[in-house]
């Protein structure tokens, strides 16, 4: 792939990320100012940047947010804590306690502003009474290895938590809560982002158990027993504690893909947004995208060249072996590269909009019809690397990792496939 093509694809990614930048996203959705205190709480990979942007727009306030290690930034009034992601740690437990403390003791003239974005589920561990952080970490590890979609995982997490499923908002009563969400979930349901600490939904333990069975999730035994015998479900949306609360989705994958599409159209390309809500096994989704690219390249259908396909959503990886490196976007792209091996005119970028794809430090990777041959020339067996979930190692071997560092936002997967 030429440097110019890489720069073009990277520019599309930057346009998508910019469309979800906190300052611009927050500005139209600020709540009315209260008579009393403004307390800000938040969680997610972009929570620190959201807090800094809120301060810039609002002025003096107070509160605390939690983000992933290395994702923090400077703030004036709002405290920023860091914790582990994707498997929770003790720092996350302390951060959860800090958020809960921040919203207690408030009155009806005060206001809680909740800044929520993707990644918050792992950053806010709060196991039920009688359980430990190790129990919640074991649940999280089981969910991540299962290949279940994020909506199913979050429905289960909500039933094994003292903060998720609207419970943080319930603690704030009688103060109203204004939740501002950067969505990283398909369908943009705010109750699913970060497992909805301030947004209740109708999911209950019965649904959680059905999802466990449907996806064959091997829960730790203590967690499974709790789900069968817990004294109560997460509070429903009809609970009086949520009266007067407001929720706004301020940025999403759809908006980001549209921004990237506008940039590509200005370069004279035909742009086709396939979907902002694609789920499924990453390698399988990669092969489907490759089939479409091959069809365009060889038969001029369903789109004429030059064409750019954009897609988003959240794929999953079902772990079949231990010791892999990378994440779902790199795995998507390695399967894609294998399926277009030797075919010219196709170039692709797949990356996570938060800047980190899975276990390593890259956002994603680049691939074209020469990637597989170059991997083999570098002594790497790409099919074996895919089987071992080591897409990171495969793309590192040919210098085609895409690295951005933390972006300060998170609207999930970004995929751009150029066919000329």
Q: How many CB atoms lie within 10 A of CB 218?
A: 10
* Crossing angle between the packed helical segments 205-214 and 221-229, to the nearest 10 degrees: 140
Q: Where does 21-251 sit in CATH, by number?
A: 3.40.50.10180
Is 0.85 topped by the overall pTM?
A: yes
Q: How far is CA 137 from CA 93, 134, 371, in A?
A: 11, 5, 37
Query: Does the fold of domain 21-251 match that of domain 3-15+254-419?
Result: no
Q: Residue 345: which of 385, 375, 304, 386 has the closest Cα? A: 304
Residue 201's region, left for phi above 0, alpha for psi from -120 to 50, else beta, is beta
Q: Tell me, what's the pLDDT at 203? A: 84
Task: Tell me the two tokens of residue 98.
Answer: 């800090």
**What pLDDT does 353 receive?**
95
Question: Would you state the structure tokens that stand for residue 55, as one six-digit string?
Answer: 């301060």
Per-residue pLDDT of the chain in tens (420 residues, 90 and over written 9): 999 999 999 999 999 999 999 999 999 999 999 999 999 999 999 999 999 999 999 999 999 999 999 999 999 999 999 999 988 899 999 999 999 999 999 999 999 999 999 889 999 999 999 999 999 999 988 998 888 888 899 899 999 999 999 999 999 999 999 999 999 888 899 999 999 999 998 888 999 999 999 999 999 999 999 999 877 788 889 998 898 899 999 999 999 999 999 999 999 999 999 999 999 999 999 999 999 999 999 999 999 999 999 999 999 998 887 778 989 999 999 999 999 999 999 999 999 999 999 888 999 999 999 999 999 999 999 999 999 999 999 999 999 999 999 998 989 899 999 999
The residue extents of the domains of the chain are 3-15+254-419, 21-251
80-129 residue pLDDT tens: 999 999 888 999 999 999 999 999 999 999 999 999 998 899 999 999 99
Residues 355, 406 contacting (CB under 8 angstroms): yes
Residues 3-15+254-419: name the CATH superfamily.
MOFRL domain (3.40.1480.10)
């Amino acid at each position: 792939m030429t440097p110019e093509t890489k720069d073009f694809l990277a520019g599309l990614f930057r346009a998508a990320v910019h469309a979800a930048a906190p300052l611009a996203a927050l500005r139209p959705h600020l709540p009315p100012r209260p008579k009393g205190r403004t307390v800000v709480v938040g969680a997610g990979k972009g929570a620190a940047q959201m807090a800094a942007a809120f301060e810039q727009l609002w002025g003096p306030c107070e509160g605390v947010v939690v983000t992933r290690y290395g994702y923090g930034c400077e703030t004036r009034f709002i405290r920023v804590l860091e914790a582990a992601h994707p498997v929770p740690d003790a720092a996350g437990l302390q951060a959860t306690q800090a958020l809960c403390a921040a919203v207690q003791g408030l009155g009806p003239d005060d206001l809680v502003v909740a800044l929520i974005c993707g990644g918050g589920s792992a950053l806010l561990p709060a196991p039920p009474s009688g359980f430990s952080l190790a129990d919640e970490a074991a649940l999280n590890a089981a969910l991540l290895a299962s290949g279940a979609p994020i909506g199913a995982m979050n429905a289960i997490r909500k039933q094994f938590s003292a903060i998720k499923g609207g419970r943080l908002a319930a603690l704030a009563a009688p103060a109203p809560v204004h939740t501002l969400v950067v969505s990283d979930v398909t369908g943009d349901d705010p109750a699913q982002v970060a497992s909805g600490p301030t947004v209740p939904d109708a999911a209950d333990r019965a649904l959680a158990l059905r999802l466990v069975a449907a996806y064959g999730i091997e829960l730790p035994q203590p967690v499974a027993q709790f789900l069968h015998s817990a004294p109560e479900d997460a509070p429903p949306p009809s609970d009086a504690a949520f009266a007067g609360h407001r929720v706004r989705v301020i940025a999403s994958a759809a908006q980001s893909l549209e921004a990237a599409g506008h940039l590509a159209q200005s370069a004279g390309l035909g742009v086709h947004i396939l979907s902002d809500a694609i789920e499924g096994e990453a390698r399988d989704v990669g092969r489907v995208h490759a089939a479409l690219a091959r069809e365009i390249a060889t038969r001029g259908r369903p789109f004429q060249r030059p064409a750019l396909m954009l897609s988003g959503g959240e794929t999953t990886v079902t772990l079949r072996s231990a010791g892999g490196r990378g994440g779902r976007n790199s795995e998507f792209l390695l399967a894609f590269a294998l399926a277009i091996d030797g075919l010219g005119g196709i170039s692709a970028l797949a990356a996570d909009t938060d800047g980190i794809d899975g276990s390593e430090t890259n956002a994603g990777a680049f691939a074209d019809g020469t990637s597989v041959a170059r991997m083999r020339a570098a002594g790497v067996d790409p099919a074996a690397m895919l089987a071992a979930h080591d897409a990171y190692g495969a793309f590192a071997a040919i210098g085609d990792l895409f690295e951005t560092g933390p972006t300060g936002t998170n609207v999930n997967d970004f995929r751009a496939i150029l066919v000329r």
